[in-house]
Amino acid sequence: MKKNTIDIITLGCSKNLVDSEKLMKQLEKNGYKVTHDAEHPQGEIAVINTCGFIGDAKEESINLILEFCQAKEEGRLKKLYVMGCLSERYLKELQVEIPQVDKFYGKFNWNELLKDLGKTYEADGITGRHLTTPRHYAYLKISEGCDRKCSYCAIPIITGRHVSRPMEEILDEVRGLVAEGVKEFQVIAQELTYYGLDLYQRQMLPELVERMAAIPGVEWIRLHYAYPAHFPTDLFRVMREHDNVCKYMDIALQHISDPVLEKMRRHVTKEETFALIDQFRREVPGIHLRTTLMVGHPGETEEAFEELKDFVRKVRFDRMGAFAYSEEEGTYSAEAYEDDIPQEVKQQRLDELMEIQQGISAELSHAKIGQTLKIIIDRKEGEYYVGRTEFDSPEVDPEVLVKDEGQGLAIGTFYWATVVDADDFDLYAEIR
């Protein structure tokens, strides 16, 4: 057990990661040595930043907390703190069920941890983060919360209403991160397209992205988690006109069957969805679309599922993830519908959908053979340098593998590479 060392473990999404990075910076300013997601945590204090989105994520969070409780009981840990979405949502229950935890914090009051450790929270300029990512890219959170009321989603219950960060504050953070060597920004929010409505009474995402693109040193901007209804179409122009805005959009569509979309309370129709996809591809040539789909929502008939499969075959998404519906207490669907689709049917549908996508991904990857693409090198792994194109977000998307033949490639540097081979997901390339 290392004195004055704190281990922070982050579960869930990149929005949680940003909170952990802010906490790390504060702890370091107060004299602690801090590790993040260490393989073998050895600090005398541990902080677990939890996820509470769906059943599997909640289970993972609980299991990890119990693991650390055991370490505490065995004398390998002095103090254990828990923060994030799970404890925001189930604070009272967790305090009763797991009393070994010294204190639970929610998603927004984690800075109280410093006070409880006898330290002070220092406002630290704008960036105030210890980046856990490779230093050439960072996640940029532009808002919290969500005003959408999708039937299945517990996020608004956990995070509350949508709150945009002031634009100038975000732009200052970008400038600060550029000064620290960041070249690539993953712009994240629970719902990007809502940005600005609360502060400026209009959708301001296109203007924010355009102003970011004008900052010297910003080489790539990639957008995550958009919503299809009332999409701010001026964003198409911004993507077209600025080379450093990646031709990439992460837009969760969830389903295509009108009856299912209605039950999901998505406020968008099949016709509007197809029209939006068509507009993306027409107005931003070469754009890569990533989406997330859900199977097994109450009311999804075999016919609706067949419609979803046809949709995936027809649209041929460049990137796609999917998950099975899990009933979340407090959500509209938990109260209004019966979770009437057996788990094995949900799993079977999920497997079928992902198998279709795997074939599409393989075809799209192989179609890139012979193309020369701009890549950024993220790391060295075994005999390969591992990089990404503008169409690939870290952690979730395909990678580009370049065999190490003594080229001495630099991590965080851009190169032009010609694709020479491909498998179902990844590309193999040679530096031009």
What pLDDT shows up at residue 110? 84
What pLDDT shows up at residue 127? 56
Residue appearing with tokens 């992460």: 250
Query: What size, in residues, is the chain?
Result: 432
What pLDDT shows up at residue 126? 55
What pLDDT shows up at residue 1? 76
What gap in Å lies between CA 233 and CA 230, rounded to an integer?
8
3-class secondary structure, 75: coil
Tell me which residue of 108, 155, 90 sits closest to 331, measured CA to CA: 155
What pLDDT shows up at residue 261? 98
- CA dihedral (263, 265, 268, 274) positive or negative: negative
Instruction: Tell me if the pTM is above 0.85.
Output: yes
Per-residue pLDDT of the chain (432 residues; tens, 9 = 90+): 788 899 999 998 888 899 999 999 999 988 999 999 888 888 999 999 998 766 777 888 888 899 999 989 988 899 999 998 888 888 888 889 999 999 999 888 888 888 888 888 776 655 589 999 999 999 999 999 999 999 999 888 888 899 999 999 999 999 999 999 999 999 999 999 999 999 999 999 999 999 999 999 999 999 999 999 999 999 999 999 999 999 999 999 999 999 999 999 999 999 999 999 999 999 999 999 999 999 999 999 999 999 999 999 999 999 999 999 999 989 999 999 999 999 999 999 999 999 999 999 999 999 999 999 999 999 999 999 999 999 999 989 999 999 999 889 999 999 999 999 999 889 999 999
Task: Write out the two tokens for 111.
Answer: 């800075």
> Phi and psi at residue 290, in whole multiples of 5°?
-110, 135
Residue appearing with tokens 């990646």: 246
What pLDDT shows up at residue 71? 87
3-class secondary structure, 132: coil
Task: Write out the two tokens for 222.
Answer: 């990639």
286: CB partners within 8 A, 6+ apart? 247
- CA dihedral (16, 36, 114, 57) positive or negative: positive
Q: Are 325 and 341 in contact (CB under 8 A)?
A: yes
Q: Are strands 2-10 and 43-50 parallel, antiparallel or unpaired?
A: parallel
Task: Write out the two tokens for 69.
Answer: 């409780």
What gap in Å lies between CA 107 and CA 111, rounded to an integer?
10
One-letter amino acid at 316 equals R
- Share of the chain residues as helix, strand and coil, in percent rounded to the nearest 5: 35, 25, 40
What pLDDT shows up at residue 12? 80
Hey, which residues does 418 pair with through a beta bridge? Answer: 372, 430
